[in-house]
Chain A
Amino acid sequence: AQTVTQSQPEMSVQEAETVTLSCTYDTSENNYYLFWYKQPPSRQMILVIRQEAYKQQNATENRFSVNFQKAAKSFSLKISDSQLGDTAMYFCAFMKHVTGANSKLTFGKGITLSVRP
């Protein structure tokens, strides 16, 4: 079974600053995906970024980037130039790759990020 750990329950950052959210996971799988999802006050889940485990290059989406350390089973999210709209709960998630099937997500406990004006 897979586990995803987010040990920081809350973080706060000043607008325009950079913040890093931590995530570790445990798995015996070699082929998998990692995700960061954002859940704003509306509670709609929004995909922030995805990383395929077989790719060494860290994924980047505009102001969002990850530091993927496969050997250490670490997957942190860096948010640059933080904006007020980044205030949300962030979930780290793991998905095992299953050929020809749709696999489930395993979520971490989440972290509440507040961006201060």
Chain B
Amino acid sequence: GAVVSQHPSWVICKSGTSVKIECRSLDFQATTMFWYRQFPKQSLMLMATSNEGSKATYEQGVEKDKFLINHASLTLSTLTVTSAHPEDSSFYICSFGSGYEQYFGPGTRLTVT
């Protein structure tokens, strides 16, 4: 199957700072990226959908100015959490979409202190 990497796998940052999460596909190209957020023992919540070269479409209730998504190429997307607060602490998962397939990254655990 397709391989997707996320970096970093775990990050701790101080409140008020920004943190960037990188999602990269290693062996395929896809035009559509999805970013999810997951709290412990809960389901994945879709945050936004982005197509390469276009602005991301955010789900209702997700602040687009806080969660900046850049989909620069068919193999790379980044999520930047700006001015992070403790309530932003969560597990963030990316996936590349290709038809009915979605290839998930291993996730990034963000802890904001």
Q: Which residues of A contact B (CB under 8 A)?
A: 33, 42-45, 47, 50, 52, 89, 91, 95, 97, 101-110, 112
- Given contacts A43-B106, A110-B43, A112-B41, are A102 and B93 in contact (CB under 8 A)? no
Q: Which residues of B contact A (CB under 8 A)?
A: 1, 30-32, 34, 38, 41-44, 46, 49, 91, 93, 95, 97-100, 102, 104, 106-107
**Chain B residues within 8 Å of A42, by CB:** 106
**Chain B residues within 8 Å of A33, by CB:** 100
**Chain A residues within 8 Å of B43, by CB:** 91, 107-110
Query: Whole-angstrom distance between the alpha carbons of A107 and B42 in the complex?
Result: 10
**Chain A residues within 8 Å of B91, by CB:** 43
- For the complex with contacts A42-B106, A43-B38, A95-B100, 4 further pairs of A-B residues with Cβ separation under 8 Å are A45-B104, A50-B100, A105-B46, A107-B44
A91-B107 in contact (CB<8A): no
A44, A45, A104, A108: the one within 8 Å of B46 (CB)? A104
**Chain B residues within 8 Å of A101, by CB:** 32
A43, A45, A52, A102: the one within 8 Å of B31 (CB)? A102
**Closest chain A residue to B31, Cβ basis:** A102
Query: Whole-angstrom distance between the alpha carbons of A26 and B93 in the complex?
Result: 25
Query: Whole-angstrom distance between the alpha carbons of A100 and B38 in the complex?
Result: 29
**Chain A residues within 8 Å of B99, by CB:** 102
**Chain B residues within 8 Å of A110, by CB:** 41-43
A89, A91, A97, A112: the one within 8 Å of B100 (CB)? A97
